[in-house]
Amino acid sequence: MIAPRARQRPPLSGEPATTQRRNDRWEPPADLSALGRTVESDGYDLRQGSSSGERTAGLGAGRGQAQEERVTQSPTTHGGVHAQMEQPTPDLAELADTANRIQAAIETVIEGKPEVIRLALTVLLAEGHLLIEDVPGVGKTMLAKSLARSINCSVRRIQFTPDLMPSDVTGVSVYNQQTRDFEFKPGGVFANIVVGDEINRASPKTQSALLECMEERQVTVDGTTYMLEPPFMVVATQNPVEMEGTYPLPEAQRDRFMARLAMGYPGEADEMDMIETHGGAEALDVLEPVADAAHVAKLVDIVRGIYVSPAVRRYCVALANATRRSPDLRLGASPRATLHLVRAAKAWAALNDRAYVLPDDIKHLAVPVLAHRLLPTAEAQIGRRDASQIVADLLTRVPQPDADGTRAR
């Protein structure tokens, strides 16, 4: 029987650093090297989700282990961040190198979709879940399977059907006549990468079996809680065209997916290459892993240490509030959506070999992270304005922080 494991809080490194504010401008303390880059977070720790006067931004070499890095004052600023790295840290260089190798491995299977693959890696490193929504035959399931194969993690595929039961997803306790006791049989969700194919074909009762594991990374069966091993990611696919016999995902379920993406049709040249490369053999069979679960968990720890300035955080909150006040939307972005946007931006910055988040990172990820959570009004639907268009319009209207974080434009 699998014994439940208690959740442990990640340790914080360093001591609280004193800061000064002048003209709404963030000034770091004079000596950061001795503190492991512990900086102020406006009284709220985004990573821990609890009120505190500090947050740790050190790049960890492992769980509970912070790595010091030298920071110098520079006139060049990024979103209010005055601390600029002298050179890329070894951890960031390792992350970028590993991510490039994973992307190259996936591109041997998925032709001509580098931006889609990059977003999938962003969700993985940000500890999120991915919803792939597109027409049949464009490689939705293949992307999920190739991602799992490239990082050599445990992977389970669940084909969602109308007769699928919640116990098929979470697991069930079975009576063992020999031991005269109940034994827990894990369900399909006990894996590092869970591929939920055509998730909207299962009943809402079965879809709800994923709620706890996606948010809390645990499964509770018969009063016993079983923790899921990190890294854990749900990659779900659904077909928006054939809606007969399907059950649309409820808002609570959609809000748990960090991002939604569409594969799209390949270009003519990419489709020609696909025919030549995959016409005689299955490319997934020859895909070799380039990382493992422990390595990915280390990369996730690095992403947690990426710095987000107060100006960029205020920009995220302003964007979320704009969706809640928009007359074109009857349901705006939730606080969870804001948190997901920040986490995704940190992973995107790390993939681009940066230890800090820029406002442009937020703008780049706003549509895939926010749009699937929003519900347009009837008037917007009549005007053929979908959620992605509304978010894109809000990005042009919400003031973006300047480079020094003191003004908005």
Q: Are residues 171 and 225 in the same domain?
A: yes
User: Residue 112: its pLDDT value, please?
Assistant: 87
55 in a domain, yes or no?
Answer: yes
pLDDT, mean of residues 172-190:
91
Core vs surface per residue 358-379: b (16+ CB within 10 A) or e? bbebbbbbbbbbbbbbbebbee
Question: Which is more confidently placed, 68 or 126?
Answer: 126
Instruction: Give the helix ranges, DSSP H, for 161-292.
Output: 166-170, 204-207, 211-216, 251-254, 268-278
> For residues 257 and 128, what is the distance between their CA atoms, to the nearest angstrom?
7
> For residues 130 and 139, what is the distance between their CA atoms, to the nearest angstrom?
14
Q: Are residues 314 and 167 in the same domain?
A: no
Owning domain of residue 147: 93-295
Query: CATH number for the domain including 202?
Result: 3.40.50.300
> For residues 228 and 145, what is the distance between their CA atoms, to the nearest angstrom?
19
Final residue of a structural domain among 295, 319, 346: 295
Angle made by CA atoms 70, 76, 78, in degrees to the nearest 5: 85
- Choice among 15-29, 82-96, 203-217 with the minimum mean pLDDT: 15-29
4 in a domain, yes or no?
Answer: no
User: Considering its fold, how many domains does the chain have in total?
Assistant: 2
Q: Are residues 329 and 284 in the same domain?
A: no
Nearest residue to 254 via CA among 397, 408, 374: 374
pLDDT tens-digit series, residues 227-261: 999 899 999 999 887 767 788 898 889 999 999 99
Q: Is residue 285 predicted with pLDDT exceeding 90?
A: no
- Place 3 in a pLDDT band, splitting at 50, 70 and 90: very low
14 in a domain, yes or no?
Answer: no
pTM: 0.76
Greatest alpha-carbon span in the chain: 73
Share of the chain above pLDDT 90, in %: 52
Q: Are residues 158 and 109 in the same domain?
A: yes
Question: Which is more confidently placed, 381 or 60?
Answer: 381
2 in a domain, yes or no?
Answer: no
Q: Are residues 313 and 366 in the same domain?
A: yes
- Place 154 in a pLDDT band, splitting at 50, 70 and 90: confident
Q: Are residues 287 and 388 in the same domain?
A: no
User: Residue 48: its pLDDT value, please?
Assistant: 37
> For residues 138 and 274, what is the distance between their CA atoms, to the nearest angstrom?
12
User: Residue 240: its pLDDT value, please?
Assistant: 81
Q: Are residues 357 and 210 in the same domain?
A: no
Q: Is 248 helix (H, G, I), strand (E, B) or coil?
A: coil
Final residue of a structural domain among 238, 260, 295: 295
Final residue of a structural domain among 267, 295, 323: 295
User: Residue 34: its pLDDT value, please?
Assistant: 38
Q: Is residue 402 predicted with pLDDT exceeding 70?
A: yes
237 in a domain, yes or no?
Answer: yes
Kindly compute the dihedral angle of the four CA atoms of residues 156, 212, 216, 343, in this order, to the nearest 10 degrees.
80
User: Residue 25: its pLDDT value, please?
Assistant: 40
DSSP 134-189: --TTSSHHHHHHHHHHHTT--EEEEE--TT--HHHHHEEEEEETTTTEEEEEE-TT
Query: CATH number for the domain including 320?
Result: 1.10.8.80
DSSP-assigned beta bridge partners for residue 155: 193
Q: Are residues 184 and 285 in the same domain?
A: yes
Position of tokens 């349901």? 331
349 in a domain, yes or no?
Answer: yes
pLDDT, mean of residues 148-177:
91
- Choice among 103-117, 196-210, 235-249 with the minimum mean pLDDT: 235-249
Cβ(14)–Cβ(58) under 8 Å?
yes
Q: Are residues 342 and 195 in the same domain?
A: no
Kindly compute the dihedral angle of the four CA atoms of residues 74, 79, 80, 83, in this order, to the nearest 10 degrees.
-40
* Per-chain mean pLDDT for the chain: 80
Q: Are residues 240 and 123 in the same domain?
A: yes
Q: Are residues 131 and 70 in the same domain?
A: no
> For residues 69 and 85, what is the distance between their CA atoms, to the nearest angstrom?
8
12 in a domain, yes or no?
Answer: no
User: Residue 31: its pLDDT value, please?
Assistant: 43
Q: Is residue 331 predicted with pLDDT exceeding 90?
A: yes
User: Residue 403: its pLDDT value, please?
Assistant: 55
Question: How many Cβ atoms from other residues are within 10 Å of residue 107's Cβ?
Answer: 15
Question: Which amino acid, one-letter code, is at 226?
Answer: Y
Question: Which is more confidently placed, 132 or 54?
Answer: 132
Q: Are residues 183 and 287 in the same domain?
A: yes
406 in a domain, yes or no?
Answer: no
Q: Identify the top-confidence range among 23-27, 50-54, 90-94, 111-115.
A: 111-115
